[in-house]
A = this chain, B = another copy of it.
Amino acid sequence: VGSFALAGDPTACSASGDPESIDEIELLFDRLWPILRSITGDGVRETLAILSEVAPMCRIEVDSTTKVFDWTVPPEWVAREAYVLTPTGERILDMRENNLHLLNYSAPFRGTITRAQLDEHLHSLPEQPLAIPYVTSYYERRWGFCLSQNQRDGLPDGDYEVVIDTDHIQGSLSIGEAVLPGGGQGEVLISTYTCHPSLANNELSGPLVAAFLHRRLSRWPSRRLTYRFVFAPETIGAIAYLSLRGEHLRKSLLAGYVVTCVGAGDRFTLKRSRRGDTLADRAALHVLNRLPEQPRVLDFFPGGSDERQYCSPGFNLPVASVMRSMYGSYPEYHTSLDNRELLSIAALRESIDVYERILRVLDTNRRYISRTPMCEPQLASRGLYGTLGTRESTSFTDALLWVLNYADGEHDLLDVADLSGISLPELANAARACYDARLLDEVTQASECAAVNLPSA
């Protein structure tokens, strides 16, 4: 009881002016970069507060020890100070220098120990001797430090004084939620995660892209669909969110995306939803296949990020993931080398563009039923067809015929675009003209949601 509470004031967005500038993105990146984030704690809340300047959001706080499906929300982690003094008194592995140094969720410890004793608590990567690894221990209490293999190798024998001033308290897990309502009932989910400390492609890129994407959508003249943005810690955050909103999403979700790893790499990657050919997959492919560089398309696999939860068999939601260089597939992944140098602000900006185009496809897509399904309607009398019969047909006429013939309640405009090779805006334009001429009825979004969220085959 009472374990979920809403906080924050998602009032009117700063809806003036142009899309974000490169400088604005970079500034936001620089402010978020040094914050020590984890799956709970003030670092997450500070991050959500900064993101709220771009994407005003509610904050949902889920109390520690709340049961969420098979899980229990862990205690909130407080990290005040962490460092080591070498035998010569040098202060090293200070979390203020690089927040990857402290094992994320580390237990507290204070004491003087030998080089050998210290070593049992160190994490490094022999095969990448310059990189500090990102290591966590959420569900078992241990203390530790992460450092480069080179630094580790250079630590002399002697006594080391270890200071880890951390705490695990009864607190809460923080989720940011920003819903941009549309005219109808269908929803689109944009989910990203906020638990990674100073890491760039994976993962400051996701929250940054999601936040600016939100601002762009907030400035659209109108929205047909509702866009739900979720900023949550990975895994436990998505699970907590689904325990709160899962039933709603099962009824209303048309398409969703996990936004992650969108700051580095030339080529886009689509990881398909578990069902494989949902509207989320089709809309993403429609956009990605029209980019200059051919996308990489992967079938669903149950490793990865929060699509693991959205696409768990009991939910099996239409959620895909559009990425650039995917987690696990680039050498800097989960190390200190996944930093500002690896990431490109221009790539981030392009990722915002691509996601906005995908969402425009979703907002534009519709399903129609012809009001004159027996033979073609008389188009000329409605000013929709040239009255002079020549051998040339216009692309508008072509689009009209495609839209009318496939207005069977089964095909949506995206299907027609795939069948015809005609662009979605042209089809939407033709459909609008037919609709205005009362030749078409639109399938309601409620039916649409019901159709999309059928149990998977």
- With contact pairs A133-B390, A137-B389, A389-B135 given, residues A375 and B309 touching in the complex (Cβ less than 8 Å): yes
Any chain B CB within 8 A of the CB of A364? no
Nearest Cβ on chain B to A59's Cβ, whole angstroms: 21
Looking at A139, A302, A373, A404, the one whose CB has the most chain B CB atoms below 10 A away is: A302
Nearest Cβ on chain B to A120's Cβ, whole angstroms: 13
Q: Mark A313-324, 1 if CB is under 8 A from B, else 0.
A: 111100000000
Residues of B with C-beta under 8 A to A393: 303
Any chain B CB within 8 A of the CB of A64? no
Any chain B CB within 8 A of the CB of A408? yes
Q: Is the CB of B388 within 8 A of A301?
A: no
- With contact pairs A375-B239, A405-B311, A420-B301 given, residues A391 and B71 touching in the complex (Cβ less than 8 Å): no
Q: Is the CB of A309 within 8 A of B140?
A: no
Residues of B with C-beta under 8 A to A314: 370, 372-375
Q: Is the CB of B404 within 8 A of A302?
A: yes
From A179-187, A211-219, A256-264, A376-384, the one touching the partner chain is: A376-384
Q: CA–CA, A312 to B370, complex, Å?
A: 10
Copies of this chain present in the complex amount to 3
Q: Which residue of B lies closest to A141 (CB)?
A: B387
Q: Is the interface of A mostly helix, strand, loop or mixed?
A: loop
Any chain B CB within 8 A of the CB of A297? no
Nearest Cβ on chain B to A198's Cβ, whole angstroms: 16
Q: Is the CB of B401 within 8 A of A312?
A: no
Q: Is the CB of B302 within 8 A of A401?
A: yes
Q: Is the CB of B139 within 8 A of A377?
A: no
* Of the residues B72, B311, B407, contact of A313 by C-beta under 8 Å: B407
Residues of B with C-beta under 8 A to A246: 374
18 more A-B residue pairs beyond the given contacts A133-B390, A140-B388, A302-B401, with a C-beta to C-beta distance below 8 A: A68-B375, A69-B372, A70-B375, A70-B377, A133-B391, A135-B388, A139-B378, A142-B388, A242-B374, A301-B402, A308-B376, A308-B405, A309-B375, A312-B370, A312-B405, A313-B407, A315-B374, A334-B390
Could you tell me which A residues sit within 8 Å of B by CB distance? 68-72, 104, 123, 133-140, 142, 235, 238-239, 242-243, 246, 274, 299, 301-303, 308-309, 311-316, 328, 333-335, 370, 372-378, 380-381, 387-391, 393, 398, 401-402, 404-408, 419-420, 456
